[in-house]
Amino acid sequence: MSTLAHPASGRRNTQRVRKWGPAAIVFGIGMALWQWVLPALGVERYLLPPLSDVLQAFWDNRSELVRGGWITFKEALGGFVLGCSLAFGFALVLARWRPLGSALMPYMIAANAVPIVAFAPITNAWFGTLSPWSKVVIAAVLCFFPVLVNTLRGLTSLRPESLELMRSYAAPQRVVFARARIPNSLPFVFSALKIASVLAMIGAVVGDYFGGSTEALGVQIVSSVSLAQYETAWAAILVASLIGIAFYAAVALAERLVVGWHPSIRAGVD
More confident of the two residues 208 and 59: 59
Range with the lowest mean pLDDT among 4-8, 10-14, 240-244, 255-259? 4-8
Give the chain's end-to-end CA distance (angstroms, integer).
Answer: 28
* 100 membership: H or E segment, kind and range: helix 98-113
Give the span between the Cα atoms of 210 and 61, in whole angstroms. Answer: 23
Contacts of 125 (CB under 8 A, 6+ apart): none
Q: 83: closest CA among 106, 125, 118, 112? A: 112
Range with the lowest mean pLDDT among 16-20, 82-86, 237-241? 16-20
Give the span between the Cα atoms of 222 and 229, in whole angstroms. Answer: 10
Q: 200: closest CA among 251, 235, 151, 155? A: 251
Q: 65, 236 in Cβ contact below 8 A? A: yes
Q: How confident is the model at residue 270, as a pLDDT?
A: 41
Q: How confident is the model at residue 1, as a pLDDT?
A: 44
Residue 38, burial from CB neighbour count under 10 angstroms (0-12, 13-18, 19+): middle
Q: 186, 240 in Cβ contact below 8 A? A: no
| Per-residue pLDDT tens digits for 123-147 | 888 888 888 999 999 999 999 999 9
* 219 membership: H or E segment, kind and range: helix 217-226
| Per-residue pLDDT tens digits for 191-242 | 999 999 999 999 999 888 887 778 889 899 999 998 989 999 999 999 999 9
Give the span between the Cα atoms of 102 and 115, in whole angstroms. Answer: 23
DSSP structure class, residue 43: -
Range with the lowest mean pLDDT among 87-101, 183-197, 237-251? 87-101
The C-alpha angle with vertex 128 and arms to 122 and 134, in degrees rounded to 5, equals 60
Amino acid at 80: F
Give the span between the Cα atoms of 67 and 36, in whole angstroms. Answer: 30
Q: 132: closest CA among 236, 225, 194, 215? A: 215
- Map residue 45 onto helix, strand or coil: coil
Burial code (b: 16+ CB inside 10 Å, e: under 16) for 144-165 equals: bbbbbbbbbbbbeebeeeeeee
Q: 208: closest CA among 224, 227, 229? A: 224
